[in-house]
């Protein structure tokens, strides 16, 4: 019964998070043809994509990764006073961090002015407050409001982006749309939940102990947040500097298409984060964690095959022909995204143990591996070299985390997961090379049938063992 109850809760949480994340990513996906229609020059779109990636990379520095601290500490307490202390400390610290960001941006404007710098800084600050607020709402147990803030933001971005592009504002319109949308989303949800009014108490004193606990947990996650986005930023930087802005735009669109797969990974990780923390002290922890891990690999493989080949089918219909090169990079980027998600799976074990400082060493090494591989591979292999370096980084991080976390949880991979992974890798061959449509459809059908057969065999074995 306990296993059924856990499975049902994970399924419910997955569905709730799916509404918000898939809804927002679907909106992003649907906007891509609009962007490429109005911004026909890949170089211009590549610059916007580079700025957006820079914001994501810098956001952990502005927030001090307290988004995760907000969720972790709010989730484990229902005491109103403790919650007020957590929310107040985090927001006071975020205000100070924002002032430092503005001073740094002012200095940069004087020494090294760049186009749209003011809008980039404004977007960075708004994104930081939006992200912390969303995780605060989630930590307070208001998952539906967490989903609502994401949906409102996505629809507002779509509405403003289309309006500003129709007005001929180009990428300036995209910057303004992203800024306004996040402000509107936070205000709209807070009118309903009153998180600020209920929990933000500027008059509270003696927050040192609360702050120490939050920072002890959050600061070691800072390199993790920076690492993920540094890898993405450095990939685009190497493409821009060693290839061209045109190639950056091509890679940028392929990456945006891969975010649909990343959205599913994010849904799983958010569902898993909540359930792993709540179930961490269960007696069958090793079995439960292994079951989730293996099930995730099989399910993710199925998603990648169906999505990648489906996207390839509709790409000529939806997108400007100038971006046609993007499609060949989608499948390998989706596989690399899977490695990103598996690295996140093991990170949550550290969060359960509150041993986030042990994440640091591999994350310090990973950016150097990324830069070195990009430097070596981008010349002979072009964008493919960047994709390979992206995947290798996460394989390295997964390996380190898997070995280290065995002291707490013994996660075991089964044969079904290995076979599923092999099918997924083999599927990349017909995707990348030119094959007739009927052949690709046959490959997808065969791959899906094989995966479903593996799943059925595994379920039969599990029932027999029971």
Tell me, yes or no, whether 215 lies in a domain.
no
Q: Do 246 and 194 sit in the same domain of this protein?
A: no
Q: Answer positive or negative: Cα dihedral of 15, 17, 19, 25.
A: negative
Tell me, yes or no, whether 1 lies in a domain.
no
- Among 153, 175, 205, the domain boundary falls at 205
Q: Do 336 and 375 sit in the same domain of this protein?
A: yes
pLDDT tens digit at each of 466 positions of the chain: 456 577 777 878 888 888 877 777 777 777 878 888 888 777 788 788 888 878 988 898 899 989 889 998 998 888 888 999 999 999 999 999 999 999 999 998 888 888 888 999 999 999 999 999 999 999 998 888 988 998 999 999 999 999 999 998 888 999 999 999 999 999 988 888 888 899 999 888 778 888 899 999 998 888 776 777 677 778 878 888 888 878 888 888 888 888 888 888 888 888 898 889 888 888 889 998 998 898 888 888 888 888 888 888 888 887 777 788 888 888 889 999 889 889 999 999 999 888 988 988 898 898 899 999 999 999 899 889 999 998 999 999 999 999 999 999 999 988 878 888 887 877 777 676 665 555 666 666 666 665 555 554 445 345 434 4
Tell me, yes or no, whether 49 lies in a domain.
yes
Q: Do 294 and 355 sit in the same domain of this protein?
A: yes
Determine the structural domain holding residue 75 and report its residue range. Answer: 12-205
Q: Do 125 and 246 sit in the same domain of this protein?
A: no
Tell me, yes or no, whether 210 lies in a domain.
no
Give the model's pLDDT for residue 321: 78
Q: Do 291 and 143 sit in the same domain of this protein?
A: no
Measured CA to CA in angstroms, residue 375 lies from 49, 136, 188 at distances of 21, 40, 46
Q: Do 66 and 102 sit in the same domain of this protein?
A: yes
Tell me, yes or no, whether 3 lies in a domain.
no
Residue 213: HSE in the Cβ half-sphere, 13 Å Cα cutoff: 11
Q: Do 262 and 167 sit in the same domain of this protein?
A: no
Q: Do 52 and 159 sit in the same domain of this protein?
A: yes
Task: Give the chain's domain count.
Answer: 2
Tell me, yes or no, whether 37 lies in a domain.
yes
Q: Do 184 and 238 sit in the same domain of this protein?
A: no
Q: Do 197 and 246 sit in the same domain of this protein?
A: no
Q: Considering the entire predicted model, what is its pTM?
A: 0.76
Q: Do 251 and 354 sit in the same domain of this protein?
A: yes
- Among 144, 174, 205, the domain boundary falls at 205
Q: Do 181 and 248 sit in the same domain of this protein?
A: no
- Among 154, 173, 205, the domain boundary falls at 205
Tell me, yes or no, whether 7 lies in a domain.
no
Q: Whole-angstrom Cα distance, residue 339 to residue 402? A: 13
Tell me, yes or no, whether 216 lies in a domain.
no
């Amino acid at each position: 019964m306990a296993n059924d109850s856990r499975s049902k809760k994970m399924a419910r949480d997955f569905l709730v998070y799916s509404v918000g994340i898939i809804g927002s990513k679907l909106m992003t996906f649907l906007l891509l043809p609009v962007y490429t229609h109005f911004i026909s020059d890949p170089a211009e779109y590549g610059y916007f994509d580079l700025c957006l990636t820079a914001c994501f990379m810098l956001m952990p520095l502005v927030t001090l990764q307290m988004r995760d601290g907000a969720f972790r500490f709010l989730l484990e307490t229902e005491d109103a006073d403790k919650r007020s202390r957590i929310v107040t400390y985090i927001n006071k610290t975020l205000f100070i961090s924002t002032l430092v960001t503005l001073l740094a941006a002012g200095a940069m404007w004087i020494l090294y002015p760049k186009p749209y710098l003011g809008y980039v800084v404004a977007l960075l600050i708004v994104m930081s407050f939006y992200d912390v607020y969303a995780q605060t709402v989630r930590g307070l147990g208001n998952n539906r409001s967490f989903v609502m803030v994401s949906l409102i933001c996505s629809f507002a971005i779509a509405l403003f982006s289309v309006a500003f592009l129709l007005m001929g504002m180009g990428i300036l319109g995209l910057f303004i749309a992203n800024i306004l949308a996040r402000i509107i989303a936070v205000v709209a949800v807070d009118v309903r939940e009153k998180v600020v009014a209920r929990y933000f108490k500027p008059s509270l004193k003696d927050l040192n102990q609360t702050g120490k606990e939050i920072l002890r947990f959050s600061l070691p996650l800072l390199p993790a947040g920076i690492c993920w986005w540094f890898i993405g930023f450095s990939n685009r930087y190497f493409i821009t500097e060693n290839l061209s802005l045109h190639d950056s735009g091509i890679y940028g669109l392929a990456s945006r298409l891969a975010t649909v797969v990343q959205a599913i990974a994010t849904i799983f990780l958010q569902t898993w984060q909540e359930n792993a923390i709540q179930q961490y002290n269960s007696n069958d922890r090793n079995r439960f964690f292994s079951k989730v891990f293996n099930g995730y690999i099989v399910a993710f493989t199925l998603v990648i095959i169906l999505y990648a080949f489906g996207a390839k089918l509709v790409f000529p219909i939806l997108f400007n022909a100038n971006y046609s090169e993007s499609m060949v990079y989608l499948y390998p980027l989706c596989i690399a995204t899977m490695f990103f998600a598996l690295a996140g799976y093991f990170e949550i074990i550290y969060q359960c143990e509150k041993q986030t400082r042990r994440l640091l060493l591999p994350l310090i090494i990973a950016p150097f591996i990324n830069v070195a591989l990009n430097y070596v591979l981008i010349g002979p292999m072009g964008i493919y070299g960047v994709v390979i370096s992206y995947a290798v980084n996460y394989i390295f991080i997964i390996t380190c985390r898997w070995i280290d976390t065995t002291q707490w949880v013994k996660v075991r991979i089964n044969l079904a997961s290995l076979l599923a992974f092999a099918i997924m890798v083999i599927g990349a061959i017909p995707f990348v090379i030119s094959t007739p449509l009927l052949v690709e459809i046959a490959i997808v059908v065969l791959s899906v049938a094989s995966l479903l057969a593996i799943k059925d065999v595994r379920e039969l074995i599990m029932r027999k063992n029971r």
